[in-house]
Chains A and B, each alone.
Chain A
């Protein structure tokens, strides 16, 4: 087996002048880096970590935006043998106070030895540091001396063993403590080997990605895999993509891109918001696998995407699906290349009330509503999947239960959280918390066990949003409910918050609604679609006094649909 530094050295000795990475920017020309340039830039950061007395095996948190410094700092930490962890940057959506509090909480669990950031952000980082915490050094990008020499012998990363932890991926919790998923060199390579086979990865592939690197899909599929596999990566900024989604298609055209990964909402977003004038000269015929992953996959979204881009050379069979999670490095399943993912039509009522997928040709569907479910494909060759009932017995095909998995690419553990790691496994199987069913060896994912909401690929816990709502003046604790509402047009869930207030004055209620919207968004970076402030006793509770989210959702929908 091998390690990241050994793989990088081998790539460098074989093809030092091959373009490893092209960075795209909104206002300046593309920047292409050869393997040699990438590793020289990285060695500057390895050197900076050495000077800062950071030891191999210590965690280094990277708070950097899209650009050269982020990739150099990341691979520099790898060459040094430190464990890099990429954290999101503060955006205007989130309040600086909340960001600082989250960062402090992260530092207390993850115990990083250093943080790398920009000059402009240095004071923000210092604001999150506390007396006596683990951070010994804040490394600022403009102080890092550029190295001209690339000397593998002096790099301490080569001391690392395949079973050592190489990276931490942070799960995207909204507030409170995030979990750092710790992965070994070995686990990552086991994933890449199996996933490369599922994708038929070859040296002519070009990965084009706009996904953020602090999330598993962008981090593994759109960063680690192409770099370590010796495949050209074209990287856009998520910040630019959301304002100009057509840039993805232009990048595929320009660099003859073959592989991309997208969350489901992005299919709708691209289909609806790209103007034809932005697609002049676009040729998508090289795009061979576009994988839908990280939120429930929808046939309707593929359909809309295909209709929009088919005249630009998009191939129908390029639209594929995957089911993935950071705990398995990334991919658990992938749909089979060369054909469209399987789609089954099932009886909607039986599905929601009996938790069984009744295939429509088999049942008398007269008068019943039918829903389409798209497969996420088969488990990778190194992964076993089963679906369990509440007593952890394996369920037959078409019966909905919790998805469990086993593989040789599982996490080493949640970093410094042995308690969480133990709870995540039962009898050697990792319990995903996702609901789904199997059919003919393929996995169909239907939702989350907990009431988690997935908005644009980001996981959101309703409890977190409700807690934030209670902080707003006029709302009492226990008198708010948050849930997700699937929006057909957008292809993702939207967040609804309902809160009870004492006042029945509409103007006063409107004021509280505004305050909730502002406070929750600023503290969770989640945009709210509906904020409904209601009179006392609107919210339904269970007999034990708990808030019944699904019952409240039904009541909300009934009122929404009865509006003129």
Chain B
């Protein structure tokens, strides 16, 4: 399940945020601390997660301390789905 989440969000980020559909984002690549996803796109990530996984990420959680990689984001989603 985690694999699927990582793959799905990864391809969303590559195609919609980075506009590089062929880009592969690895599970442990840092997203926020590296500046790959800028602050204006963080809301998009939260909305995408909410719409596709039914899991809410609060605005105070949109930072590298809460999740910085796809692995961490997937774990956050999994933990809230239960």
Residues of B within 8 A of A93 (CB): 35, 38-39
Known: A242-B43, A530-B19. A518 touches B64 (CB 8 A): no
A440 to B14, CA, bound (A): 47
Cβ of B42 < 8 Å from any Cβ of A? yes
| Pair B44/A273 contact, Cβ less than 8 Å | yes
Count chain B residues whose beta carbon lies closer than 8 angstroms to a beta carbon of A: 22
| Pair B35/A527 contact, Cβ less than 8 Å | yes
Cβ of B15 < 8 Å from any Cβ of A? no
One of A117-125, A509-517, A547-555 contacting the partner: A509-517
| Pair B40/A456 contact, Cβ less than 8 Å | yes
Contact with A along B48-61 (1 / 0, CB 8 A): 00000000000110
| Pair A273/B43 contact, Cβ less than 8 Å | yes
With CB as the reference atom, state the residue of chain A lying closest to B43. A273
With CB as the reference atom, state the residue of chain B lying closest to A530. B19
Docked complex: B7-58 residues within 8 A CB-CB of A:
18-20, 22-23, 32-36, 38-44, 47
How many contacts A-B (CB < 8 Å)? 58
Residues of B within 8 A of A527 (CB): 35, 38, 40-41
Most B CB atoms within 10 A — which of A239, A244, A456, A522?
A: A244
Most A CB atoms within 10 A — which of B41, B44, B59?
A: B59
With CB as the reference atom, state the residue of chain B lying closest to A274. B43
With CB as the reference atom, state the residue of chain B lying closest to A265. B40
| Pair A273/B47 contact, Cβ less than 8 Å | yes
Residues of A within 8 A of B36 (CB): 517-518, 521
Cβ of B62 < 8 Å from any Cβ of A? yes
Cβ of A529 < 8 Å from any Cβ of B? yes
Known: A27-B60, A517-B36, A518-B34. A242 touches B42 (CB 8 A): yes
With CB as the reference atom, state the residue of chain B lying closest to A246. B59
* 8 Å CB contact of B59 from A92, A243, A456, A529: A243
Cβ of A15 < 8 Å from any Cβ of B? no
| Pair A243/B34 contact, Cβ less than 8 Å | no
Residues of B within 8 A of A26 (CB): 59-60
* 8 Å CB contact of B43 from A240, A245, A518, A530: A245
Contact with B along A348-364 (1 / 0, CB 8 A): 00000000000000000
Binding site for B on A (CB under 8 A): 26-27, 91-94, 239-240, 242-245, 269, 273, 275, 456, 506, 510, 513-514, 517-518, 521-522, 527, 529-531
Given contacts A27-B60, A93-B38, 6 further A-B contacts (CB under 8 A): A92-B33, A239-B39, A243-B60, A273-B47, A518-B35, A531-B20
Binding site for A on B (CB under 8 A): 18-20, 22-23, 32-36, 38-44, 47, 59-60, 62, 64
